[in-house]
Structure 1
Amino acid sequence: MTVFLIYAGAALAEIAGCFAVWSVLRQGAPAFWLLPGVAMLALFAGLLTLIDSAAAGRAFAAYGGVYIAASLAWLWSVEGVRPDRWDLAGGAVCLIGAGLILLGPRAA
């Protein structure tokens, strides 16, 4: 599994899990939505452990950029709110930062 697929799966799982909690607490969704939400959050955490990195913090930092971009995709596809140019510019900056963290040369 490639790093991109792991990060994309983790982002989808985290956003779906958080959205389930958001829906219960802010939009009146049934409380049973918390069960799949918690399962998705556990999946998110498990997926991040698959990243090949000597330091968890580096894997998590790079994931942050992917999470932001995925959140903007969720905003548009699930919530029906089209990201504006500032959302897109910020997401691009975050993805560039994630790339630098993941692909930057490291001392052996």
Structure 2
Amino acid sequence: MFKTSLLFFATALCEIIGCFLPWLWLKRGAPGLVLIPAGLALALFVWLLTLHPAASGRVYAAYGGVYICTALLWLRVVDGVKLSAWDWAGACVVLCGTLIIIAGWGRA
């Protein structure tokens, strides 16, 4: 479970970085060269998704919860926005759903 969680977290970071860098280019005037690491991050994101040991639909469903929590951490750490009680509650709910899906991988 720990290895799967780390893999999901790394996958989510790659997706966020791959989307954040073009956002910087489009909205904040970052140099176009940021698109190169963005493309690499998105390619790594896709590759990391293939390393999970379950059917792709289950992986995507479980990954969604981890992505939400990682995006909230990004919001706090990178964007400097304080998370609300609603953010934390939502993160707990989606993580519970993610854990339920992952727990059932070997039983389906």
Q: Structure 2 length normalisation: TM-score?
A: 0.92
Structure 2: give runs of 5+ residues left out of the alignment: none
Whichever residue aligns with residue 67 of structure 1, its letter is Y
Residue 21 of structure 1 deviates from its aligned partner by: 1.2
SS at match of 1:52: coil
Partner of 1:98: 98
Question: Aligned residues: percent identity?
Answer: 48
Any gaps of 5 or more consecutive residues in structure 1? none
Aligned to 2:35: 34
Structure 1 partner of 2:85: 85
What RMSD in Å do the two structures reach over aligned CA positions? 1.4
Displacement of 1:66 in angstroms is 0.4
1:49-88 alignment to 2 at 5 Å?
Answer: 49-53=50-54, 55-88=55-88
List per-residue Cα deviations over 1:61-95 (Å, max 9, x = no partner).
Answer: 10000000000111111111111111111111111
Counterpart amino acid of residue 50 in structure 2: T
Task: Give the equivalent residue in structure 2 for 1:23.
Answer: 24
Give 1:5 deviation, angstroms.
1.3
The code of the aligned residue for 1:72 comes to L
Displacement over 4 Å in runs of 4+: none
Number of aligned pairs? 106
Residue identity matched to 1:102: I
Provide the secondary structure at the position in 2 that maps to 1:6.
Answer: helix
* Counterpart secondary structure, 1:2: helix
Distance between the aligned counterparts of 1:82 and 1:94, measured in 2?
Answer: 19
**SS in structure 1 at match of 2:19:** helix
